[in-house]
Amino acid sequence: QAQLVESGGGLVKPGGSLRLSCAASGFTFSDYFMSWVRQAPGKGLEWVSYIDGRGSTINYADSVKGRFTISRDNAKNLLFLQMNSLRAEDTAVYYCTRANYVLDVWGQGTTVAVSS
Amino acid sequence: EILLTQSPGTLSLSPGERATLSCRASQSVSSTHFGWYQQKSGQAPRLLVSGASSRATGIPDRFSGSGSGTDFTLTISRLEPEDFAVYYCQQSVTSPWTFGQGTKVEI
């Protein structure tokens, strides 16, 4: 069955960078939009970014635009989120999701903490 | 940006009771691009209902969705102990994709 596994989270200082990865299995990865969603501690869900199957259509939340970059490697079934200029407010659990009109498959999440 | 407003913020009920959760959009949303999600404490969210009324794979039939346009409802016909969680609505019609703020269903 479809499965998503995130990695790459950790503790980083403000202004630092981090690259999240998401390994997909159990479905034809290139057929689907993919998305990142985050959840700050004790808060609700916030959509971060999406990318289409070919990597040609991309969109970002205003809160991360210009700092985060989403990309994918369809040959390796991998989704990425490059996060630069990190701020304290980027502290959250980051979920990789498959976007099939709705977000129908979710990973278990990876935690990013931005603190000095 | 399409704002999604969920009500109530918290629903206090007992097992066996019926739960009715509401999600109102600031502008019309295609049902195809609308979903409900459940998140239990310490777990990732999971899709419950897509297309406003289609249960996702493995979701019990006590969960049902309805609505169209700007008003959507998630109904849990008879609450089981495992249903106490936070529920979110979400749209992916236009960017930015947005979530409601969540409804907590508690005992």
The predicted structure's pLDDT at residue B107? 84
From B64, B91, B6, select the one nearest A99 (Cα to Cα).
B91
Find the closest chain A residue to B55 by CA distance. Answer: A104
Provide the mean pLDDT of chain B. 96
Cβ of B35 and A45 within 8 Å? no
The predicted structure's pLDDT at residue B51? 84
Indicate if the pLDDT at residue B17 is higher than 90.
Answer: yes
DSSP string, A41-91: TT--EEEEEEE-TTS--EEE-TTTTTTEEEEEETTTTEEEEEE-S--GGG-
Q: Regarding beta strands A10-12 and A33-39, do their DSSP bridges make them parallel or antiparallel, or are they unpaired?
A: unpaired
State mean pLDDT over B52-60.
92
Contact predicate A33/A50, CB 8 Å: yes
The predicted structure's pLDDT at residue A65? 98
List residues of B whose CB lies inside 8 A of any A CB: 32-35, 37, 39, 44-47, 50-51, 56, 88, 90, 92, 95-102
SS3 content of chain B, % helix, strand, coil (to 5): 5, 55, 40
Give per-residue pLDDT as tens, B71-80: 999 999 999 9
Going residue by residue through chain A, which has 116 residues, state the pLDDT in tens, using 9 for 90 and above: 999 999 999 999 999 999 999 999 999 999 999 999 999 999 999 999 999 999 999 999 999 999 999 999 999 999 999 999 999 999 999 999 999 999 999 999 999 999 99
